[in-house]
Structure formats: structure tokens, C-alpha cells
Amino acid sequence: MEIQVMVAQECHTRFAEQICEEVYVSALERKTGIARRTPEYICEKIRGGKAVIALTDEGEFAGFSYIESWSGKSFVANSGLIVAHKFRGMGIAKRIKAQTFKLSRQLFPDAKIFSITTGAAVMKMNYEFGFRPVPFTELTDDPEFWKGCQGCRHYDILEGHDFKMCICTGLLYDPKEHLEIHHPDEEEEKA
């Protein structure tokens, strides 16, 4: 079975309910804080060209992720990474993460990209893409982002710490830390 990972299109809004249900069930199973999103919110991300979806060659939903910009587009969050239960363990999450990361860099090339998670697999993937763990104070201070955490079962912990810490780990990719350095002497040697 072939799995296609692509930027989601309008026709993929039909999966919004299924995506929300998969996130909800996963949160219950993991007993961790995954903020709930509405199907309308998921559709908004898809229509805005800010979502990535994985589908089988028969058109069955396999996974999803989306991006959102904050603080005047100086921060971008990679969020909502989910793989349908029957497709887990096949490397799909990493492919979705790669496409989401690429989309983030295309749409917001100068933005810092961040993720908050309790999942070890997501942390490992983020490290592989050059993210580093940071305190929440290095993430966006945009109150609208933190409102998105209200659907998480641990929101009271976040709120009680003035949005500076929670059980999630904050991970940040700063493009300024990953600039490629070109040495003129090396360029001449290649010529």
C-alpha cells in the first residue's frame, strides 16, 4: 500500500471530523494533553494552504498536521501531528513532519518554528530537524496561541504558571542558527 503525503487541498476538508476524532482518541489513550480542535478549525487550515495530509492510494486518511503563524509571523507553530491508528509504525509521522517543516519554511522563511509536545517520538523527530528544547519564554508570547491550549486537559497547569511552563516540552527551530556558511577559499578550490 502506497501512502501519499501532500499539502492538503479543499477536497480534503471531508476528513476534518475524522482528524478531530483521531486526535481526541489519541489524547485519551496517552493520557496527555493534546488540545482539541474543531472540524471548522481544521478546514480553515486546509483551505488556507497550511495543512499536510497523508492518504493511502485508495484515498483513506492516514495522517495530518498543520501550521499557524503567531506574533506578526515571526513564529510558526507545527501542530496537530496525528497518524491514524492502523497506519502507525510505518514512518508516516516523520514524512508528515518533513512536509510540514518544508511548508513552514516556504511560507515563512524567516520565522522561528516551534512545537510543544509531550510525545517522545515528536521530540525525536524535531531534534532531527534541528529543533532544540527551550523554555516557554522563548516561544511566542501571543495570547492567541496560548488560548489554543484551552482544549488541553493540563491547561490549568499552564495558566497557573503564567504561560511560562507546563508538562509539554517547548522545541524551537531558529533559521538564524542554521545558516549555511560559504567560504570563498573553498569555492575557488571547487572551480
Distance spanning both ends of the chain, measured CA to CA: 45
Strand partners, 51: 66
- pLDDT tier at 1, thresholds 50, 70, 90: confident
pLDDT at 144 over 90: no
Decide if 16 contacts 43 (C-beta within 8 A).
yes
φ, ψ for residue 135, nearest 5 deg:
-70, 155
State pTM to two decimals.
Answer: 0.83
Mean of per-residue pLDDT scores for the chain? 88
pLDDT digits (tens, 9 = 90+) for 32-59: 656 678 999 999 999 999 999 999 999 9
pLDDT digits (tens, 9 = 90+) for 101-122: 999 999 999 999 999 888 888 8
**Per-residue pLDDT averaged across 159-181, rounded?**
87
φ, ψ for residue 63, nearest 5 deg:
180, 170
- pLDDT tier at 148, thresholds 50, 70, 90: confident
Percent composition of the chain: helix, strand, coil (DSSP 3-state, to 5): 45, 25, 30
pLDDT at 153: 78
**Residue 63 grid cell:** 495522517
d(CA 180, CA 62): 35
What are the E-state strand segments in the chain?
3-7, 51-56, 61-70, 75-83, 112-117, 132-134, 169-173
CATH number of 3-178: 3.40.630.30
> Cell 514512518, residue?
91
Helix or strand holding residue 79 (H, E) = strand 75-83
pLDDT digits (tens, 9 = 90+) for 5-16: 999 999 999 999
> Cell 520565522, residue?
111
